[in-house]
């Protein structure tokens, strides 16, 4: 772990979980698309209910990933503004 990574971990330990959730959402996306390859396309009236649900889940997971990225960006601003002169590393 680099000093910058340690600083970030001490400043915002929740980012560990944010990163885990982000990777989990990536795995979910891959699994859903493997099972429902057409779920990434536009809504179709004749789609099976499970495919419509998969499509909805993909959209919501994408929204959550965007929210996580925005959170990470905001945390980076806060951590970057820290006075680090008193840190031992």
The pLDDT value recorded for residue 79 is: 83
pLDDT score of 16:
92
Tell me how far apart the alpha carbons of residues 75 and 79 are, in angstroms, rounded to a whole number: 6
pLDDT at residue 88 greater than cutoff 70: no
- For the residues 72-89, what does the mean pLDDT come to? 75
Rg of the Cα atoms in the chain: 19
Of 7-11, 41-45, 60-64, which has the strongest mean pLDDT?
60-64
Note the pLDDT of residue 82. Answer: 66
What is the distance between the alpha carbons of residues 1 and 60, in angstroms, rounded to a whole number?
33
CA-based nearest residue to 51, from 63, 34, 39: 39
Question: Domain residues of the chain, as ranges?
Answer: 23-80
Q: How much of the chain, in percent, has pLDDT values that exceed 90?
A: 58
């Amino acid at each position: 772990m680099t000093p910058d990574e340690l600083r970030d971990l001490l400043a915002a330990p929740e980012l560990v979980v944010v990163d885990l959730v982000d990777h989990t959402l990536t795995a979910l996306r891959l699994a859903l698309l493997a099972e429902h390859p057409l779920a990434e396309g536009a809504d179709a009236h004749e789609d099976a209910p499970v495919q419509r649900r998969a499509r909805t889940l993909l959209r919501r997971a994408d929204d959550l990933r965007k929210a996580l990225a925005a959170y990470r960006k905001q945390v980076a601003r806060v951590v970057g503004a820290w006075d680090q002169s008193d840190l031992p590393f």
